[in-house]
Structure 1
Amino acid sequence: MDIPQDPDMLSGMKDLLLIMIISYLPFKDAVRTSVLSKRWKNLCYQTRNVQFNETDFVDLSASEENKLARRALFVRFMSEWVSWFYGDRIDSFEVKFSKPDGFQGEMKSLIRFAVSKSVKNLVLDFSCGSENQVTAIDLPSCVYEKAKLESLNLYACGLVASSFKNMTSLKNLSLGFVELGSVQSLLMNTPLLESLTLRMCRNVDLVELINNERLRELIIENCDFTGSAFYFDVPCLEVFKYSGEFCHIVFDRLKRRMQEVCLDFGLETEFEETGEILCNILYDVASATTLTVCTYLLQEVPNGENPLSLDRPLETRCLTLKTSLYPHEFLGIRFMLKSCYILESLTLEIVPERILVDYYPPFEFDPDTLWEEKIIYRCLKNTLRVVKIKGFRGILYDLRFLQYLLRFGRVLQCLELHVSPDVGYNERIVALAGADTVNRRFRRASKNLVITVHNN
């Protein structure tokens, strides 16, 4: 007896359901569905998530002549694709095009098209990743006047912050390589904004953010500011990430436990005796569950009033140290371990050595014997269970610090040693030999410790 086969489930679906399925696919895959059959040929022209990425067309390592021709082909593809689109709306529209010189008209037409389809998430990235990036495309007025955006990402776009008055639905805003001005004015014009990211922005006035009850996430990366001190009255802030030059940051009225804080003053090269200021910043973000600090902080923070630890403990459970594990950071590492009473996870991201000009420690110490001292911090006795070293080198200072952790880490359960895939053959051999020494020869306070080596 013949057994009837199950019918093709997709063939029995209505076009509306198929369009919803296509809209969840990556845009390239959605376009590829057009070759499946006659019925599928035009369905992709109703997808609600459109992503035009230059790298799908242009090999950035090719000759300039080749890249110029491929960019022209890319622009033609985008223009033709939107001309075929016959859907009612678009949820997400993204264009990534690093050098749109000569195609400004086409780019503005694409933006107007997205706005006409009631786009909710708009991503326009015309940057080429250079610090000297200039404005590539000025936003057409329809973005300010008609768009009902909930999320907006703009990179290398000319914008007028004072024109954001109609963006009353905007919740997420990311700006990069733009001339910005007053951030406070921008936030006043976007009352529902919950997440703000600023990357490589110029002329940023961030002296104060006050009376903002909505902002949950603030990310600042290597911006050019009009001042060097910031006052944040953002009581509901949960995520704060800062990278760039050192600045004096004051947080007021924080009501919630912060989820994540990153303090990376990686552009600093000189020792400036900012230890007490850094301590005050750490006090303000003491509730952060996850905390990342840089080598600048590790060198400066012990030079506050108390060189051994904060007077009040941090509530950090996951701590990341960007460090070279060299002597000028040792006291700062001890400072952070002692200040984190309930630390559960410690990650070391090994970075190139950087000694601040005119650096000096708060007191003399012997770096060769420092980690041999029997100083057991509370987290080592009670809570620290996971240690990860990313970029493990197996050199002397790596081994001494690990020997200390294993000797006194009574509840350690997991030690992960990650050897960087970018190191040469000889460096890799040294790292693997060091990992073998840690695994075979170091005494362990915890019987439950498992050591793993990741060599990729």
Structure 2
Amino acid sequence: MDRNTDMFSNLPSSLLIIIASFLPFKEAARTCILSKQWLDIWREVANIDFDESNFVKLDESEENQKVQREVFINFARQFIENNSQQVIETLGLICSRPGNFPVDMQNIVMFATSRNVRGLRLDFSDPAWREDEIMNHEAVFELPSNVYELGQALETLKLFSCRFDASKFTNFSAIKSLSLGWININIGSIVAILESCPLLETLRLKKCWNLEHIEVSKPGLRLQNLVLDKCDFRDEWLFIEGPKFQFFKYSGKVGQFHLENQREMVEAQLDFGMQSEFEEVGVFLYDLLLELFAARILTVCSVFLQIIPSGDEPLGLQAPLNVRNLILKTALHSNEYWGIKFMLRSCPRLEMLTIDIGPARIFPDYEPPYPFDPEKFWSRNFQVELSVTTTLRVVNVKGFKGTRNELYVLRYLLNFGRAMEELNLYVSNEGGDNGENREFYMGRAQQVLGFYKASRNVSMSVL
């Protein structure tokens, strides 16, 4: 067969539509430039995304943004007018000014429901809203009544800055994934939703407010994934009894957590960056770790590392964690040293350590559990963790700049990591790929290559 033959030219349009449907909507639209055969293929794809960010440039003037938003809405209008598909899989609509186009918003949602859409994503939040600010923003759109009529056709639903009637979720008995964000919602509505959606496997709450607390205790729930992202709880209290999670993510302030019988946990991500004060809450984090003991992948933040040694056991958990892959979101500040030691000691089966270096909230009133000299901390003066000497095989460092603290930690891991097989340094791009800063960081990385290595089998990469 001629190598120059275009294999796609022999395929029927029906198959090309299926192929294009696997592409992101923006990329599917770009296929129209390939040939006449592809000109209208993208208009019949099963997965549709109307995203204003592809049209509206937030760094331009309000007047320009207004014109760009009009172009975006005209594009959506023409698309639904010319679409002949009887069934679509998913539809996403992202528009931060829905009030300026109420009829179009209704028409787009009606288009989705008339095609028995299985996944509906409606995001009316404003990109200018800050996730870490205290201010709450009222929802700017009301979920159209025809959405509730989808019944068992709907499997995935995302509502951001979109009001809804929780009592009507009884129609959504087939939903498996639900994401709610930027809305005023109470625990009563959450409980009502859980009771109405027995097949729900994933629940995500992002920047929701007016929540008294979180309680998930209904027997028989299939919930496997729970994400609580920067929600405003009146009481920082979370109670889980019944569901056996595989994935748990929490981002917010430190609170009291009770997650019973989480033996099937695969991954947990903990981010307490919204904690504004260094308080005596280490015991809460200590108890949370014990309840996440089964997780094989664990991500913790800088605030966690600073607070965790202030609990009852400053040197590590009495009961070991099952963590094999530990991810530290850290500034590698000396305030975090005891917390890093705590985690290395609490994960005796650790195989992979990722040190993700970036800006962090450093508490000025931090008090270490014991007096120490930061420059001598990563040396034989302190007991070397069992995980470092016997099980740790791979170390990844992201955002490497070669600071003194980074070099201390890497020397320690190489000096005592007898089982290490890989060290991968991902050099910081600060200043650009070709900037002087990056060249300096690359030079520091070369120093690491010369450190003494306890393992003869370790390979080192600078990327």
TM-score for both structures, normalised by structure 2: 0.90
1:453 maps to 2:462:
yes
Map 1:102-121 onto structure 2 (within 5 A).
Answer: 102-121=100-119
Map 1:228-307 onto structure 2 (within 5 A).
Answer: 228-256=236-264, 258-307=265-314
1:151 maps to 2:156:
yes
Map 1:32-71 onto structure 2 (within 5 A).
Answer: 43-71=41-69
Which letter does structure 2 place at the counterpart of 1:217? N
1:444 maps to which residue?
A: 453
Query: Residues of 1 paired with 2:367 and 2:38: CA distance?
Result: 69
Q: Which moved more, 1:215-224 or 1:371-380?
A: 371-380
The alpha-carbon deviation at position 7 of structure 1 amounts to 9.2
The alpha-carbon deviation at position 134 of structure 1 amounts to 3.9
1:411 maps to which residue?
A: 419
Which letter does structure 1 place at the counterpart of 2:449? N
Q: 1:418 to 1:46 in 2, by over 3 A?
A: closer
Q: Which moved more, 1:426-435 or 1:317-326?
A: 426-435
Which letter does structure 1 place at the counterpart of 2:202? S
Q: 1:207 to 1:39 in 2, by over 3 A?
A: closer
Query: Residues of 2 paired with 1:234 and 1:275: CA distance?
Result: 26
Q: 1:325 to 1:25 in 2, by over 3 A?
A: closer
Secondary structure of 2:345's counterpart equals helix
Tell me the number of residue pairs that the alignment of Structure 1 and Structure 2 aligns.
450
Which letter does structure 2 place at the counterpart of 1:150? E
Query: Residues of 1 paired with 2:2 and 2:370: CA distance?
Result: 84
Q: Is the 8 A contact 2:255 2:284 kept in 1?
A: no
Which letter does structure 2 place at the counterpart of 1:172? S
Map 1:123-162 onto structure 2 (within 5 A).
Answer: 123-129=121-127, 130-131=129-130, 133-147=137-151, 148-162=153-167
1:312 maps to which residue?
A: 319
Secondary structure of 2:370's counterpart equals coil
Q: 1:14 to 1:397 in 2, by over 3 A?
A: closer
Query: Residues of 2 paired with 1:352 and 1:37: CA distance?
Result: 47
Task: Output one character per residue of 1:161-209: Cα deviation in whole Å (capped at 9) or x when no partner.
Answer: 2321110110011122122222222211111110111111122244310
Query: Residues of 2 paired with 1:5 and 1:271: CA distance?
Result: 66
In structure 1, which of residues 321, 325, 338 is the aligned counterpart of residue 332 of structure 2? 325
Map 1:194-213 onto structure 2 (within 5 A).
Answer: 194-210=201-217, 211-213=219-221
2:133 maps to which residue?
A: none
1:382 maps to which residue?
A: 390
1:179 maps to which residue?
A: 184
Query: Residues of 2 paired with 1:75 and 1:244: CA distance?
Result: 35
Q: 1:10 to 1:263 in 2, by over 3 A?
A: closer
Secondary structure of 2:288's counterpart equals helix
Task: Output one character per residue of 1:258-280: Cα deviation in whole Å (capped at 9) or x when no partner.
Answer: 11101111011212111222111
Query: Which residues of structure 1 form unaligned runs of 5+?
Result: none
Q: Is the 8 A contact 1:241 1:262 kept in 2?
A: yes
Secondary structure of 2:408's counterpart equals helix
Query: Residues of 2 paired with 1:5 and 1:445: CA distance?
Result: 52
Query: Which residues of structure 2 form unaligned runs of 5+?
Result: 131-135
Q: 1:6 to 1:317 in 2, by over 3 A?
A: closer
Query: Residues of 2 paired with 1:156 and 1:188: CA distance?
Result: 23
The alpha-carbon deviation at position 342 of structure 1 amounts to 0.6
Q: Is the 8 A contact 1:198 1:221 kept in 2?
A: yes
Which letter does structure 2 place at the counterpart of 1:168? S
The alpha-carbon deviation at position 309 of structure 1 amounts to 0.9
Percent identical across equivalent pairs?
Answer: 39
Q: 1:195 to 1:428 in 2, by over 3 A?
A: same
For the aligned residue pairs, the C-alpha RMSD in angstroms reads 2.4
2:90 maps to which residue?
A: 92
The alpha-carbon deviation at position 416 of structure 1 amounts to 1.4
2:72 maps to which residue?
A: 74
Which letter does structure 2 place at the counterpart of 1:136? V
Q: Is the 8 A contact 1:215 1:234 kept in 2?
A: no
Query: Residues of 2 paired with 1:201 and 1:307: CA distance?
Result: 34
Task: Output one character per residue of 1:49-108: Cα deviation in whole Å (capped at 9) or x when no partner.
Answer: 212121332333232222211211211221121112222111111112222331122111
Q: 1:209 to 1:426 in 2, by over 3 A?
A: same
Query: Residues of 1 paired with 2:445 and 2:23: CA distance?
Result: 42
Task: Output one character per residue of 1:330-379: Cα deviation in whole Å (capped at 9) or x when no partner.
Answer: 11111111110010011111132533253212221222211122522211
The alpha-carbon deviation at position 303 of structure 1 amounts to 1.7
TM-score for both structures, normalised by structure 1: 0.92
2:173 maps to which residue?
A: 168
1:189 maps to which residue?
A: 196
1:220 maps to which residue?
A: 228
Which letter does structure 2 place at the counterpart of 1:415? L
Q: 1:116 to 1:412 in 2, by over 3 A?
A: same
The alpha-carbon deviation at position 304 of structure 1 amounts to 1.7
Q: 1:104 to 1:27 in 2, by over 3 A?
A: same
The alpha-carbon deviation at position 44 of structure 1 amounts to 4.2
Which letter does structure 1 place at the counterpart of 2:357? I
Query: Residues of 1 paired with 2:27 and 2:414: CA distance?
Result: 49
Q: Is the 8 A contact 1:270 1:357 kept in 2?
A: no
Map 1:418-433 onto structure 2 (within 5 A).
Answer: 418-423=426-431, 427-433=437-443
Map 1:6-21 onto structure 2 (within 5 A).
Answer: 14-21=12-19
Q: 1:212 to 1:427 in 2, by over 3 A?
A: farther
Q: Which moved more, 1:138-147 or 1:444-453?
A: 138-147
Q: Which moved more, 1:131-140 or 1:22-31?
A: 22-31
Q: Which moved more, 1:93-102 or 1:43-52?
A: 43-52
The alpha-carbon deviation at position 37 of structure 1 amounts to 7.2
Q: 1:350 to 1:6 in 2, by over 3 A?
A: closer
Which letter does structure 1 place at the counterpart of 2:455? S
